Structure 1
């Protein structure tokens, strides 16, 4: 079939990709569903095994299907490279060194343990030893491309997941060469090649780490002097590509070079600019990768084997979840963190497809078996966001039950000032109370914030104040005061009304978003409500007046008077239930100004 310039294969494929990105992401975001599922479904629909197989019968389908799967796959691989590069940008050598125990301890145990159990299952079902090892190693890998964007690298779950994923990425090359060494026609030479590649790769990475420290600052300094965003972007992509090509030439995976490049740039002053410039490319390329995953799924084969596929992927998920959760618990992780991390890491990976291809080339497994597990892997990637959501919800319930306030709020906490919410505002309030020797206790529902604050010496308890039983255990009737700092207007009003119902004399000071919200808080029973918009405008006016040369005393007096007048106006509006009218007036003033 021949097509004009704008009907060429490249233009058609580009149209489908950009159309998918423009339609899938907003549609699934509106439904609060991960676009990962959407991209894979698009790949199934428009790929060669979907509508693409009917192009000869219906030529118009050419414009809405993907026919050049090889070119798309190459771009998808570049997306994975950019993803690893962005991960490197978030790290530092100091942080990486501090994680060495998790990476080579838990990471190694998780990969080897999961692979051994999965391989044992295949042996029980009659597979050969080498086929079982190949399938076990392939299915034990987890998806860096999906897991880290979901978990990040800063939370407890993200740090645990990143440690294991980093070891898997480092182990990918030895796995590929080990499978090649198992091939019947390779014999002992395969192991010699493996040792040679490891030595060559190690020397290459070392040279890159040393040379990059001297070259990259000068390169980006020159790019920055041009004051051209295009030149800076070109320099960033050049570093990524060269690093990936160097490690590929040394026999390592290109993603190792991308990670090293990110680590090196993270040590320079330009990492923030590089990260912001490469972010759009990473997201689009990752979407293309997921489309290629969907293109590998045959809807007809999926319909015929759905029972076997469902059983297979469920078995892999269960094995990896149990193994990962057990190892994390033995390492001292909390139950909620261990469960959430293990469910996030449970599905197979995009690198599973690479290992399966290597096993087929080495004639360890047949093509039919590889195609079956490729479909199972695609299904696993599709359900990864769902597993992440379920794991997060279950982990939260576990933390609320086991790490709640049952024994955490002791009797001596009752006579303190209680701060609900320990984010930026709550921490500032606690610092000022502490500086004046006023006893306090903070209550926060994010266990990671609680642990960090405790390490820094703050008195913080874990608990979800949205639950009525948590408020009851706080014994607020005996507290000195209640300070509500959460940025949740509805919850703040509900808590104020509930507490005021049985603690009539308790001072309740609440953070408000604006004057209308403050009026609602006063109506609910707050002693004082502090609107953020009011305080920021008063502080801005005070600073401007002082900078204009007006004496500090009169400025403070006028600001104090203005604050008092506005607070009285808000209280009056609360008594007359004029909060909606007050909100409209402030919106009109803001629009006119």
Structure 2
């Protein structure tokens, strides 16, 4: 990749970050700027873009429980939404063409249907990036959104098979034999340890899965996702995902730059792309009403619908195939690339304040809730709780154990990941599933007797949001939080934390205090 690409991407990404916008929007702008200046995508950039998507799908798989796809809100929601969306877009575009709008006048019914299908997908790259940055990928709404994305990816793969006539090889069923190789791979993953071999092993699994599926005539991206799901139950899955995070984020910059290199837009194409973006609220409304109809709570429905309200890179792939087959004109590839970029911008901006938006409109949104609740959406009251630990990762679990030794049953733990909570409950810990950024949760929990809440979360934005939700819920106790960096401490104090612990400094202090107990007289020989 040329130094100019890296420099321009950095400048635009930094500028957007300074102004409070997601850097990925800057990377998109950098791509169009480089294209305008006369640069062209290089083979190395395209390789990095493909590798970034492969790693992203693999890490999604590592965090995905296949049982989530069996849930009605996922499979029925995705299928129904696609059918409704295609129908509604067909009606709108046909009406626009009938009224003489030139952008759509040369499209027949089949063309419109295929274009609507391409626009039905939501962006895996954009959504996963947003959810990861906000620490919400394992929340209820995050898992619903990821489940919908996986279903859409399956739809895309099936369409590619039909459209290209590329039928999977007769050897494809042999992929099922991978299940019997699981003990061997499990042992290998344990042997590699925690150093540089771990991310290398991740690269091998992701790229190997991609190439293996391509070898038998199945889209390689699906292979990376499936192999990731294959390893999701492994106890090192989370560590493996974290080891790949920096590589994935770096390589995905190539993907965003690549979009800008698609073609130089004309004014007509920009206006058509903006018109397509006016359809996005329809996508949001359809998702929201479907989710509430399927008994999801209003908050879960709102947040999942909001993050899914964009266009997808898979739509670009579908349109590129239609253009190559002569079904659509080449201008639609540029138009969709622009619409995709604009939709990323809209989602990135709106989701930053999504929790405050829900708090503002929740009384109107709750009107659409069904009276009966799914089992996963019921609230559990922490009985006799005086101390609550939010975030039951390594730090939170350690804090819970120490406090439990002192206060016993007065200490409860909370985490948004149901799988983690299930394991902890099985181990005998007093914990419950809950998303700390959910104002409805705090409104339904009796906070009167809770004197202290510990926020053991990795994201400063999450901690600040939870602190704000607790203030809205009129919580009167104390709040302690964790900071990873020195410059985060004052921001957390300003947000409302009563005490902030620097993770690395306090870990050293705790280690020293625990070690000094070895020198006490009762421990001497």
CA-to-partner distance for each residue in 1:464-502, whole Å, 9 max, x for gaps?
999xxx99x9999xx6x662436689x79x98xx999xx
State the match for 1:367 in structure 2.
330
> Is the aligned partner of 1:138 residue 2:118?
yes
1:118–1:71 Cα change, 3 Å? farther
1:296 matched to which residue of 2? 262
Matches within 5 A, 1:341-352: 341-352=304-315
Deviation of the 1:288 alpha carbon? 0.7
Give the 5 Å matches for 1:325-344. Answer: 325-344=288-307
Take 2:60 and 2:433, find their aligned partners in 1: how far apart are those partners? 32
Aligned residue-pair number: 455
Against the structure 1 CA distance between its residues 387 and 205, is the aligned structure 2 distance closer, same or farther, given a 3 Å change threshold?
farther
Change (3 A) 1:179 1:392: farther
Greater relative contact order (Cα < 8 A, sep 6+): 2
TM (norm. structure 2) is: 0.70
Contact preservation (8 Å) 2:51, 2:251: yes
Q: 1:43 to 1:427 in 2, by over 3 A?
A: same
> Quick check: 1:158 aligned with 2:142?
yes
CA contact (8 A) 1:114 1:320 kept: yes
Q: 8 Å contact 1:349–1:377 — kept in the other structure?
A: yes
> For the structure 1 residues 536 and 266, does the alpha-carbon distance in structure 2 shift closer, same or farther, using more than 3 Å as the test?
closer
1:178-327 superposed matches below 5 A: 178-180=162-164, 193=165, 196-197=167-168, 200=170, 203-207=173-177, 209-210=178-179, 212-217=181-186, 219-220=188-189, 224=192, 229=196, 233-268=199-234, 270-272=236-238, 274-299=240-265, 301=266, 303-315=267-279, 317-327=280-290
Distance 1:240 1:460, change over 3 A: closer
Q: CA, structure 1 residues 217+76, in 2 after alignment: closer, same or farther (shift >3 Å)?
A: same
Change (3 A) 1:157 1:551: same
| Partner of residue 67, structure 1 | 40
CA distance in 2, matches of 1:164, 1:513: 33
- Measure the CA separation in 2 of the matches of 1:336 and 1:372: 33
Residue number among 36, 49, 70 corresponding to 1:100 in the alignment: 70
Q: Which residue of structure 2 aligns with residue 119 of structure 1?
A: 90
Residues 113-133 of structure 1: CA distance to partner in whole angstroms, max 9, x if unpaired?
323322343344453222122
Instruction: Check 1:39–1:167 CA distance in 2 against 1; reply closer, same or farther (3 A cut).
Output: same
Query: Post-superposition shift, 1:238?
Result: 3.0
Of residues 153, 156, 165, the one that matches 1:172 is 156
Counterpart residue number, 1:406: none
Equivalence for 2:451: 483
- Looking at structure 1, the residues matched to 475 and 148 of structure 2 have their Cα atoms a distance apart, in angstroms, of 45
Contact 1:134–1:179, Cα closer than 8 Å, also in 2: no
Name the SS for the 2:352 alignment partner: helix
User: Offset of 1:158 from its aligned partner?
Assistant: 0.8
Deviations for 1:292-328, whole angstroms, at most 9, x for unmatched residues? 11222525x1x4454433222112x022111111111
1:349, CA displacement in angstroms?
Answer: 0.4
Match of 1:81 among 54, 57, 71: 54
Q: Which residue of 1 aligns with 2:37?
A: 51
Say what the alpha-carbon RMSD is for the aligned residues: 4.8
Contact 1:75 1:289 in 2 (8 A): yes
SS at match of 1:364: coil
- Partner SS state of residue 485, structure 1: strand
Gaps of 5+ in 1: 1-12, 53-65, 181-192, 404-412, 501-507, 515-528, 555-593
Residues 162-207 of structure 1 show CA distances to partners (whole Å, capped at 9, x for unaligned) of 1110011112121123345xxxxxxxxxxxx46x43x758525423
Report how far residue 32 of structure 1 moved: 2.5
Question: Residue 262 of structure 1: CA displacement?
Answer: 1.8
| Larger fraction in helix | 1
Query: Residues 306 and 99 (structure 1 numbering): CA distance in 2 closer, same or farther, change over 3 Å?
Result: closer
Q: Which residue of 1 aligns with 2:316?
A: 353
Q: Higher Cα Rg: structure 1 or 2? A: 1
Deviation at 1:145, TM superposition (A): 0.8
TM-score relative to the length of structure 1: 0.63
> What SS does the aligned partner of 2:300 have?
helix
Q: Is the 8 A contact 1:86 1:262 kept in 2?
A: yes
Q: Paired residue for 1:36? A: 24
